[in-house]
Each structure stands twice: as C-alpha cells, then as structure tokens.
C-alpha cells in the first residue's frame, strides 16, 4: 500500500477565499464562543495589517478598519472536505478524510493509470491549485506516515519502509501526531525527534507512555495495519449544466439533456443501481425553477431509455421563461435487477420490453394512463374491480350470476321501447354498512337492436331500467 | 431475369389460389369459433395483421368474438393491451372467459393519442394482441396499424362503427357483426364467403 497525503493547512480559509470575489482584501475567520470571539484564521492581507490567529475580534477591528469577518462554519468545512474527497475519488477507490485537515488516498493501484508518481503528483497539484486550495503533498507506505511527512516537508516521496523510517527520524515529536500528552512528556525527557524515539527500548517506552504510543509508532512506520473509514460516494446524483445563452426551445435543451442522462447512466452503472424517479430543474434568470418530474415504475439505467423518457416529459412542459441552467437530481436509486431473458428468443428485431413500452406510453399520455384491472370481492358491480399499477395479486372469485364483459363507467337509462327480459332478477342488496348502499334487481335484457344488456331497476319493479353493462 | 421466387413460399402463401383443393394446414391463430374458422381461408385469424370488426351497436358479441383468442394468448404467457376501450372491461367476466387479467393492460388515451399508442404497442413487439377503437381513422391510419402489426408480429383488432363498411380498408380481414351472424367483408388469401357465418348470441 502506498498512501498519498494531501495536507490542506488552510482548508477553512481557502474554502471561503476560493469563492470570494476579491480575495486580496483583508479577511479573517471568526470562531469561539459568543462573548469572547477570536480570529481563527487570517489571510495574507490581514496578516500584513497585524492581525493574527487568536486575536479578539474587537482588537482586530481596531487594528484594521474594514476587515471582512466571516463566521467559522463547521458545515462549510465538512462540505469542502466532502467535495475534495469526491474529487479525489476519481483517482483512487480508497479515499479517507479521517485525519483532520488532510485527504488520504491509496495510490498503489492508481499509478498504472496516472503514474509514475512525479507526473501523478504534478496533476494533483495543478488541479488543487485550480480549485483554490493551498496544499502539501507527501507519499509514504503508511497513511499516518504520509500525513506526518507532508506536514514536515512538502513534496517528500518515500516508497520503502526503510526510507520511511529514515525520513521520519528527523521529524520533531511535536509534529508526529502522537497520542495526547506524550509529545510534551517526551520533550521534557530531551527527546526531540522521532529518530530518538525509535532508538529507545520498546518495552520501556511502552511501560512509561502506554500502549497507544507503540501502536501509533507501528502505524507510522507501516508495521501495523491501518483501519481508516473510507469515503463512500453519496447516494444522490446531482448534476448541473450552465448554459451560456438563453434557451427558448426544448430542442436546444436536448443536447445538454443527453449529456446529463448519460452521466446519470454512467453513475448508475458505477454503483450497479437503477433510478426510479428523477427531477429535471430548468433554471430561469429571475423566476423560480421549472421542475419536470420523471417517474418510472421500475428502476432503469439504460442511457437511451433515460434520455427518451426525459425528452418525452420535457417536450410536454410549457416553459414560461428562457432557460439558463439545466439540473438533474436523482434521489431514489434502488438496486437495479436486470430482467431475466431467454438466450434464444425468437423476437422481432426492434423489440422493446413491456416495462420500456409502458414508460414510453406514460411519458406521453400521463402517469395514470397505463394500468391493469384486478377483480375485488364485492357484489356491487361498480366496486368489483380496482386499478392495478404494479404486479397483479391473486384475486378472490366471487361470481354468482351472469356478469357482463363490458361495464359502463356509470349506469345510464336504458333507452329502448320494448326490452325483452332473458334472465333475472338477481338482487344485489349490500353496502349499507359503508355508505355505498345498493338495492337493485339486475336483469339480462335483449334490446330491440339485438344487443345483450345488463340492466337493473328498483327492487320488485319491472322498469324503468338502468343500463350497467354489455354482454359483448 | 426476374427475381427468383421459390415455389414453396409461393404455395405456402395463401395469396395463391390453386385449382384443386388441398388439405388445409392447421392455423396458428384459430379464432376459437369453429364456424368462423371454417369460413376463413387461413383457418383462423391472419397472422400479424389488422382485423377490422364493424359493429352497428355495442353488445352484439364483439368481445365474445375475440375472447377465446385473448385467453389463448394470455394463457401462453403473452401480454395483450386494450387501447382506449369504450367501457370498463369487467375483470370477473374476462377471467371467467379464461383471460389472465394479470397480462391484460389498459391504456387510456384521447382519440388523437389512441392511434399513436396503438402503433407504439404494436411496434414494440412485446404484446401479442392489441385491441383498439379508432374513432376517426382513415385508410392511411389503418395502413399504419397494418404495417406496425407486421413489424411487431402482433394481432390487432380495430372495432369500428358499421358505417365505415363503405370505406376502403387495408385490413387483412374485415368482419361485420350483426345480431346472430357474422359477415366476412374481405379476407386476404381467398374469396370472402357470400353467406354470413352464424354467430349465435349465447
């Protein structure tokens, strides 16, 4: 294992400065409890005016009029760390932000792609520079060792354990990230550098300063395994494309949309998942965003399908103002289970699976437009079926008399001068307990045009008839 | 030199009429009604084609005509779709007729989108039969359905008003329904029988 440490000594300040319009003006970060707030970091311009870390806010304002004071925000710091971890993740699958102010990445496996190390390091430095983070980089066979070396000497790269021991020998104990209280105790014993610590008898060192010190030294030298919490990419896909011009037609949005859906598909393939629902946000100049929700019944991850679906929804949206930004947010990312198919299946060439066809129809006709019907055990005809959007469930059989194949959405008067009664009556009298009270006598009726109808009338009467279905 | 046409394919194709009667091969798409099967030249529905059913009124047995076919298709594990049906298909009765309602999909669409949806369903190739009720379909729209049915290898039934009988139609089979009988108006691969086919109401 080879660990590279990107040490960010001014992370909190850089996080503010990199987004600041004029970073050359005096600026200071303020931290500490409310009544006694002190400066926690200052930029170069502020330092030149005499401001320094730990100074009370009142003193700083007296020294330098017009200094910009920014609150120290832990959440902002955490976001910056996550951002750096996500950025580093493209170079290595093992990234950790466990050590404060540092990003660690395992590079042994990445050297084949980005190496050799000097070139890899130059690329890292160039990108960090462009991102606006001051940094120190070191390479070592152990993670803590790399972090300690980065703080000691920028650009140091050691690849063997012996070289690591030699390089660490000159590091002062105060900078070796030793467990709490050990470093002052060692310096009181006139032990100034790690080299002197390594020379001390191990057993005595452990007895005097505790096992934690021995563990730490072992991990420093790469002799004990290191357990670091590794960075996991977030479970949300959020990508945005800024358009350089106002877009007024949905046709012109198709190209950025294709890029976004392709990115989403690549992201989904990387985490072996699918997407069940995503939102397209069309950003306008000075209006709230237009949201286009693309919902799917089954997880999907084919770039072509995702693009077609998003396009179908987008083309139906009336956008009120020119579009400046296009953003795609996907939060529901369930596991993707590819449909099992037969190896030798005789199918037409351009065959589309039913789920894909269903999504295509829903995209144009509306979310509610494709469904199935399941029977329900209820004698009232209007309640004897229910919509099904997903998988059918086994339904109870509950038939007594003849039932028509067509049911009218609601009964209408049967307009026929002389209907002929073929069967009936079948009395349906139920529902008094749930408010849908029904008392009807149903007949099978033949109309004068030869149609078979299912009609009802009030109990005990022979008309007028209400038509409720056709025996088609 | 014209294109060489294999004699076998020509004979297998029912478009060629031979002088002497031959044993008819079993149809792959039987209608489930013996009298109708006997009257049709293919011995059943034409394969991957448009079947037009003309009705003077609802409730004359138009579903009973196709339910055996739908039951056979769903029983074989194929999906079917109803695009913009005029009424609610009663799942109890359809189940009693042998149709697996889990494989029955309904698509609601207005008149303008219904033809588009039907064509999509047909071209997709994952549905074996599609039922549609085109309101104002000219012969171009019907031809599109016919071509889509061929490319998706699906059977499509179009139920239309009997007034459309006078219009020309590209359908492979046209049936007119009347109380108690069926008239074959046009059938590909043979002459339409002059006598109506009995189609008892129940």
| Residue-wise pLDDT tens digits, A104-118 | 999 888 888 887 899
The DSSP H or E segment spanning A146 is helix A143-152
What average pLDDT does this structure show over A73-94? 82
Report pLDDT for A339.
63
Whether residue A472 lies within 8 A of chain B, CB to CB, comes out as yes
Distances (CA, A) of A447 to A417, B59, B141: 8, 10, 33
Q: Do residue B179 and residue A449 have CB atoms under 8 angstroms apart?
A: yes
**Dihedral class, residue A66 (left if φ above 0, else alpha if ψ from -120 to 50, else beta):** left
Whether residue A350 lies within 8 A of chain B, CB to CB, comes out as yes
pLDDT at A464 over 50: yes
Burial of residue A464 (CB within 10 Å: 0-12, 13-18, 19+) is exposed
Whether residue A283 lies within 8 A of chain B, CB to CB, comes out as no
pLDDT at A83 over 50: yes
Q: Do residue B90 and residue A357 have CB atoms under 8 angstroms apart?
A: no
Cα separation, B129 vs B63, in Å, equals 13
% of chain B residues with pLDDT over 90: 27
Distance from CA of B108 to the nearest CA of A (A): 5
Nearest residue on chain A to B80, alpha-carbon basis: A354
Whether residue B10 lies within 8 A of chain A, CB to CB, comes out as no
Beta-carbon contacts of residue A301 (< 8 Å; ≥ 6 apart): A265, A268, A269, A273, A274, A275, A336
The DSSP H or E segment spanning A5 is strand A3-7
**Measured distance between the N- and C-terminal CA atoms of chain B, rounded to whole angstroms:** 57
Task: For B33-46, write each residue's pLDDT tens digit.
Answer: 888 888 888 788 98
Omega within 30 of 0 (cis) for the link into B164 = no
What residues in B contact A375, CB-CB < 8 Å? 91-92, 95, 101
Using alpha carbons only, how large is chain A's radius of gyration in Å? Answer: 36
- Report helix, strand or coil for B69: helix
Cα separation, A326 vs A322, in Å, equals 11
Cα separation, A1 vs B100, in Å, equals 60
Per DSSP, B118 falls in state H
Helix axis angle, A202-209 relative to A211-220, nearest 10°?
130
Report pLDDT for B106.
93
Which of A356, A403, A405 to probe by mutation at the B interface, max B CB count within 10 Å?
A405
pTM of the model: 0.58
Q: Do residue A449 and residue B117 have CB atoms under 8 angstroms apart?
A: no
Question: A452 or A23: whose pLDDT is higher?
Answer: A452
Distance from CA of B124 to the nearest CA of A (A): 5
Report pLDDT for A184.
86
Omega within 30 of 0 (cis) for the link into A240 = no
Report pLDDT for B22.
62
What average pLDDT does this structure show over A150-169? 88
Nearest residue on chain A to B152, alpha-carbon basis: A348
Q: Which value does ipTM take for this structure?
A: 0.83
Distances (CA, A) of B93 to A388, A400, A422, B86: 17, 11, 18, 16
Report pLDDT for A340.
61
% of chain A residues with pLDDT over 90: 5
Query: CA angle, corner A23, sides to A22 and A24, nearest 5?
Result: 95
Return residues 95-154 of B near A (CB < 8 Å). 95-97, 101-102, 104-109, 113, 116-117, 120-121, 123-127, 151-153
Of the candidates A154, A142, A129, the residue with the CA atom closest to the CA atom of residue A96: A142
Query: CA angle, corner A157, sides to A153 and A160, nearest 5?
Result: 125
Task: For A407-439, write each residue's pLDDT tens digit.
Answer: 998 899 988 877 888 887 888 888 888 888 888
pLDDT at A395 over 70: no
Q: Do residue A361 and residue B97 have CB atoms under 8 angstroms apart?
A: no
For residue A249, what are its two tokens? 């037609």
Of the candidates B109, B45, B54, the residue with the CA atom closest to the CA atom of residue B81: B109
Q: Do residue B86 and residue A375 have CB atoms under 8 angstroms apart?
A: no
The DSSP H or E segment spanning A424 is strand A420-430
Whether residue A450 lies within 8 A of chain B, CB to CB, comes out as yes
Task: For B56-98, write each residue's pLDDT tens digit.
Answer: 888 888 899 999 999 999 998 889 999 999 999 998 889 888 8
pLDDT at A23 over 80: no
Bridge partners, B105 (sequence order): B81
The DSSP H or E segment spanning A47 is helix A44-48
Task: For A326-359, write each residue's pLDDT tens digit.
Answer: 888 888 777 777 666 666 655 555 567 888 888 8
pLDDT mean across residues, chain B: 85
For residue A54, what are its two tokens? 């730990």
Distance from CA of A457 to the nearest CA of B (A): 19
Cα separation, A264 vs A258, in Å, equals 10
Place of tokens 């002088």: B19
Q: Do residue A370 and residue B105 have CB atoms under 8 angstroms apart?
A: yes
Of the candidates A113, A66, A68, A84, the residue with the CA atom closest to the CA atom of residue A15: A84
Q: Do residue A392 and residue B87 have CB atoms under 8 angstroms apart?
A: no
Cα separation, A398 vs A433, in Å, equals 19
Question: A458 or A271: whose pLDDT is higher?
Answer: A458
Q: Do residue A469 and residue B91 have CB atoms under 8 angstroms apart?
A: no
Q: Do residue A384 and residue B92 have CB atoms under 8 angstroms apart?
A: yes
What residues in A contact B196, CB-CB < 8 Å? none
Task: For B147-174, write each residue's pLDDT tens digit.
Answer: 999 888 899 999 999 888 888 888 999 9
Q: Do residue B91 and residue A348 have CB atoms under 8 angstroms apart?
A: no
Distance from CA of B105 to the nearest CA of A (A): 5
Distance from CA of A282 to the nearest CA of B (A): 27
CA dihedral A78, A82, A83, A89 (to 10 degrees): 160
Q: Do residue B102 and residue A352 have CB atoms under 8 angstroms apart?
A: no
Q: How many residues does chain B have?
A: 202
pLDDT mean across residues, chain A: 83
Distance from CA of B121 to the nearest CA of A (A): 7
Number of H helices and E strands in chain B, helices first, is 6, 9
Report residue B12's pLDDT band, with 50, 70 and 90 as the boundaries: low
Report residue B1's pLDDT band, with 50, 70 and 90 as the boundaries: very low
Report residue A224's pLDDT band, with 50, 70 and 90 as the boundaries: confident
Beta-carbon contacts of residue A288 (< 8 Å; ≥ 6 apart): none
What residues in A contact B117, CB-CB < 8 Å? 361, 364-365
Report pLDDT for B37.
87
Report residue A398's pLDDT band, with 50, 70 and 90 as the boundaries: low
Report pLDDT for B52.
92
């Amino acid at each position: 294992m080879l660990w590279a440490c990107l040490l960010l000594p001014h992370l909190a300040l850089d996080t503010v400065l990199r987004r600041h319009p004029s970073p050359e003006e005096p600026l200071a970060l303020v931290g500490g409890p409310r009544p006694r707030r002190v400066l926690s970091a200052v930029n170069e311009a502020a330092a030149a005016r005499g401001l320094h870390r730990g100074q009370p806010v009142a003193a700083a304002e007296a020294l330098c009029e017009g200094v910009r004071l920014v609150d120290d925000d832990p959440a902002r710091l955490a976001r910056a760390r996550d951002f750096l971890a996500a950025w580093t993740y493209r170079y290595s699958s093992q990234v950790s932000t466990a050590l404060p102010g540092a990003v660690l990445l395992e590079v042994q496996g990445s050297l084949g792609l980005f190496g050799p190390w000097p070139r890899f390091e130059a690329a890292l430095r160039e990108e960090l520079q462009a991102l606006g983070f001051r940094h120190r980089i070191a390479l070592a066979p152990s993670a803590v060792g790399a972090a300690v070396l980065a703080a000691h000497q920028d650009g140091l790269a050691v690849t063997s354990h012996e070289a690591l021991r030699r390089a660490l020998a000159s590091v002062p104990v105060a900078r070796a990230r030793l467990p709490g209280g050990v470093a002052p105790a060692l310096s009181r014993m006139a032990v100034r550098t790690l080299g002197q610590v390594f020379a001390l008898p191990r057993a005595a060192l452990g007895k005097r300063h505790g096992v934690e010190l021995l563990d730490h030294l072992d991990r420093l030298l790469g002799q004990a395994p290191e357990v670091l919490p590794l960075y996991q990419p977030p479970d949300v896909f959020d990508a945005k494309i800024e358009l350089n011009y106002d877009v007024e037609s949905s046709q012109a949005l198709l190209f950025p949309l294709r890029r976004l859906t392709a990115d989403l598909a690549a992201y989904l393939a990387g985490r072996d998942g699918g997407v069940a629902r995503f939102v397209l946000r069309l950003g306008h100049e000075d209006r709230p965003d237009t949201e286009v929700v693309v919902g799917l019944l089954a997880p999907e991850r084919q770039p072509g399908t995702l693009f077609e679906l998003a396009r179908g929804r987008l083309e139906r949206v009336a956008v009120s103002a020119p579009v400046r930004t296009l953003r795609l947010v996907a939060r529901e990312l369930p596991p993707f289970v590819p449909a099992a198919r037969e190896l030798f299946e005789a199918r037409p060439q351009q065959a589309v699976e039913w789920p894909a066809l269903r999504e295509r129809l829903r995209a144009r006709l509306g979310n509610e437009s494709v469904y199935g019907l399941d029977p329900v055990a209820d004698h009232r005809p209007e309640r004897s079926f229910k919509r099904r959007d997903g998988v059918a469930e086994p339904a109870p059989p509950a038939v007594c008399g003849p039932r028509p194949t067509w049911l009218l959405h609601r009964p209408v008067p049967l307009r026929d001068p002389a209907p002929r009664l073929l069967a009936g009556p079948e009395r349906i009298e139920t529902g008094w307990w749930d408010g849908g009270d029904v008392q009807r006598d149903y007949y099978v009726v033949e109309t004068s045009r030869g149609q078979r109808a299912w009609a009802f009338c009030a109990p005990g009467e022979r008309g007028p008839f209400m038509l409720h279905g056709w025996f088609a | 030199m014209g294109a060489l046409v294999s004699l076998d394919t020509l004979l297998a194709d029912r478009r060629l009429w031979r002088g002497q009667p031959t044993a008819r091969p079993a149809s792959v798409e039987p209608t489930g009604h013996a009298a109708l099967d006997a009257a049709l030249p293919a011995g059943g529905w034409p394969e991957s084609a448009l079947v037009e059913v003309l009705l003077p009124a609802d409730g004359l047995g138009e579903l009973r005509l196709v339910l055996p076919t739908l039951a056979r298709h769903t029983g074989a594990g194929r999906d079917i779709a109803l695009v913009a049906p005029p009424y609610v298909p009663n799942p109890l009765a359809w189940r009693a007729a042998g149709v697996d309602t889990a494989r029955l999909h309904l698509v609601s669409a207005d008149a303008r989108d219904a033809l588009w949806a039907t064509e999509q369903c047909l071209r997709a190739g994952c549905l074996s039969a599609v039922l549609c009720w085109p309101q104002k379909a000219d012969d171009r729209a019907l031809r599109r359905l016919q071509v889509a049915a061929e490319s998706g290898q699906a059977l499509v039934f179009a139920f239309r008003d009997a007034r459309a009988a006078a219009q020309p139609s590209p359908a492979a089979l046209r049936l007119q329904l009347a109380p108690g009988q069926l008239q074959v108006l046009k059938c590909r691969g043979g002459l339409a029988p002059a006598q109506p086919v009995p189609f008892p109401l129940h």
